């Protein structure tokens, strides 16, 4: 019987036990912090060893509760934003808009490749702005038949929606669940630095589109070159039709409101220094206004909000438990010591090498904690002060997290979304991983190159 890889919560609990053991091994030490503009910043060179503070069973049992208390603001943010998107999904606005675009492009007699490009751009924008992830599974059931009808294969259909959204996620502009949380922990204005991330998004998306276009050019010449050629040949034609959702005036207004809110958040975060409280309030207002515009009954809106919030339960649990893990490390006073020795090691290298090491570390961590919000909660409290020590901006540290989380999510078998998408598409994991590996390598190299300018050319 094949063993199932442990889930994120199990992994965090195991790491928690490891951290308890480490408090008995690693000498206790701490840095001094100073308060600047309401936020604590580590003072380089202030490290000193302190009295040992080993943790035990009581610490293990109380750490999760302490973690939830300390991460309460971020957890509340996740629930409110998730609930608001639950209302948006209930209005059918996002689904209707994308489905309307699918119908229009699928019916054109023009270049099929332009259709692929346009759809990939749309899904990439969705991944980059509001963090389309689980919701992309619905559209896979549309893009797979569409790709086959166009003479391509299921991998092409998977690429149009899942891969494009994943690439957009990796080049996130305003994703509240990754960029928003990571920047909040790092003490940065929410969604600040979007200008450089716009370049990142463009480069990543262009690379993915080029990769897919080269692939479909190859299978146009010889369909048997498709890794799933035999599997697609066995698929029977689907008799049923997908239910059409009209993209009426109210749904168009909701979509306009969504983009207006995203623009307002970018402006407010940079101009008025909005933080999690303000961002949460704006998303909550978006949900309420969307319900009114779509003429949802109060009971429908509340039920949709609760349903959307429920979807964030796992992320909230991971965030709270991950914070609890750090509570053990903080109470055991080993984080300062670890940072000190890591900084001593990293300081031996040029800052460019140090930032690449941070990216590699985030990519490695992503395999064990594929939740973007969970990974942010786990790693950013360590990586943010580490960036201070090695002379890298916290914005660049967030960029390392963004790359490490987003790029590898599309291929790791520990990601529920990835495995769910492959299951819906009927594509075996080994075939997908082998097909996607070259693109992952390309994106990894691009990420390493894109991390250099913020370090040596300008203060990002």
pLDDT digits (tens, 9 = 90+) for 151-176: 788 999 999 999 999 999 999 988 88
For 271, other C-beta atoms within 10 Å of its C-beta total 9
More confidently predicted of 156 and 258: 156
What pLDDT is stored for residue 243 in this prediction? 62
Task: Name which residue leads in pLDDT, 2 or 26.
Answer: 26
CA distances (Å), origin 93, targets 87, 121, 302, 371, 414 = 10, 18, 17, 26, 31
Angle at 72 (CA atoms; ends 66, 75), nearest 5 degrees: 120
102 contacts 142 by C-beta, under 8 angstroms: yes
Tokens of 353: 């090498």
Give the Cβ contact number of residue 107 at 10 Å: 8
Instruction: Give me 21's structure tokens.
Output: 């053991």
153 in Cβ contact with 416 (< 8 Å) = no
Spell out where 163-286 has E strands. none
Supply 191's token pair. Answer: 């969604």
Helices (H) and strands (E) in the chain, counts: 22, 4
| CB count in 10 Å sphere of residue 253 | 16
Contact in structure between 435 and 163 (CB atoms under 8 Å): no
pLDDT at 363 over 50: yes
Q: What is the DSSP letter of 259?
A: H
> Bridge partners of 41?
34
pLDDT at site 288: 94
Of residues 459 and 128, the one with the higher pLDDT is 128
The pLDDT of residue 24? 94
pLDDT confidence tier of residue 109, bands split at 50, 70 and 90? very low
Structure confidence at residue 60 (pLDDT): 92
Rounded average pLDDT over 337-353: 77
Going by pLDDT thresholds of 50, 70 and 90, the confidence category of residue 286 is very high
Q: What is the mean pLDDT of residues 442-451?
A: 96
In the predicted model, is pLDDT for residue 236 greater than 50?
no
Return d(Cα 124, Cα 129) in angstroms, integer: 9
Burial 406-427 (b: 16+ CB within 10 A, else e): bbbbbbbebbebbeebbebbeb
Q: Quote the CA–CA distance of 320 and 323 in Å, as a whole number.
A: 5
| Sequence-distant (≥ 6) Cβ neighbours of residue 320 within 8 angstroms | 64, 67, 68, 71, 75
Is the confidence at residue 460, as pLDDT, over 70?
Answer: no
Looking at residue 179, the DSSP 8-state letter turns out to be I
- Lowest mean pLDDT of 108-112, 207-211, 227-231, name the range: 108-112
Spatial separation of the C-alpha atoms in residues 98 and 86, rounded to whole Å: 17
> Is there a contact between 170 and 443 (Cβ–Cβ < 8 Å)?
yes
Here the tokens at position 141 are 């059931």
Q: Pick from 286, 268, 270: which is nearest to 278 by CA? A: 268
Residues in the chain: 460
User: Between the CA of residue 160 and those of 18, 155, 259, what are the distances in Å?
Assistant: 41, 9, 22
């Amino acid at each position: 019987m094949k063993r199932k890889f442990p889930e994120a919560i199990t992994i965090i609990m195991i790491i928690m036990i490891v951290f308890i053991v480490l408090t008995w091994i690693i000498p206790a030490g701490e840095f001094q912090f100073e308060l600047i503009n309401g936020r604590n910043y580590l003072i380089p060179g202030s490290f000193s060893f302190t009295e040992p503070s080993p943790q035990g069973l009581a610490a293990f049992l109380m750490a999760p509760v302490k973690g939830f208390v300390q991460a309460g603001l971020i957890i509340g943010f996740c629930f409110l934003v998730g609930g608001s998107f639950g209302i948006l999904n209930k209005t059918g606005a996002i689904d209707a808009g994308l489905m309307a675009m699918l119908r229009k492009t699928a019916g054109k007699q023009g270049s099929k490749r332009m259709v692929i490009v346009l759809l990939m751009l749309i899904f990439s924008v969705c991944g980059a702005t509001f963090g389309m992830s689980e919701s992309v599974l619905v559209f896979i059931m549309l893009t797979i038949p569409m790709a086959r009808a166009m003479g391509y294969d299921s991998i092409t259909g998977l690429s149009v929606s899942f891969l494009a959204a994943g690439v957009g996620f990796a080049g996130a502009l305003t994703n509240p669940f990754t960029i928003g949380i990571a920047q909040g922990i790092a003490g940065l204005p929410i969604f600040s630095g979007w200008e450089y991330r716009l370049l990142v998004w463009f480069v990543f998306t262009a690379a993915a589109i080029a990769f897919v276009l080269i692939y479909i050019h190859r299978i146009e010449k010889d369909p048997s070159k498709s890794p799933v050629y035999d599997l697609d040949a066995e698929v029977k034609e689907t008799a049923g039709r997908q239910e059409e959702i009209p993209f009426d005036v109210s749904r168009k207004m909701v979509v306009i409101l969504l983009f207006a809110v995203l623009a307002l958040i970018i402006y407010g975060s940079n101009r008025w220094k909005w933080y999690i409280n303000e961002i949460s309030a704006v998303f909550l207002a978006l949900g309420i206004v969307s319900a009114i515009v779509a003429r949802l009954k109060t009971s429908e809106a509340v039920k949709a909000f609760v349903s959307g919030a429920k979807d964030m339960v796992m992320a909230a649990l991971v965030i709270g438990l991950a914070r609890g893990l750090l509570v053990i490390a903080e109470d055991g006073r080993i984080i300062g010591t670890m940072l000190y020795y890591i900084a001593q090691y990293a300081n031996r290298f040029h800052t460019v090498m140090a930032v690449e090491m941070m990216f590699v570390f985030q990519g490695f961590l992503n395999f064990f904690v594929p939740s973007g919000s969970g990974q942010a909660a786990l790693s950013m409290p360590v990586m943010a002060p580490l960036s201070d020590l090695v002379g890298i901006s916290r914005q660049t540290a967030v960029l390392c997290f963004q790359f490490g989380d987003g790029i590898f999510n599309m291929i790791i078998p520990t990601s529920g979304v990835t495995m769910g998408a492959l299951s819906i598409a009927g594509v075996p994991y080994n075939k997908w991983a082998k097909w996607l590996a070259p693109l992952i390598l390309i994106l990894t190299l691009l990420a390493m190159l894109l991390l250099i300018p913020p370090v040596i050319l300008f203060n990002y």
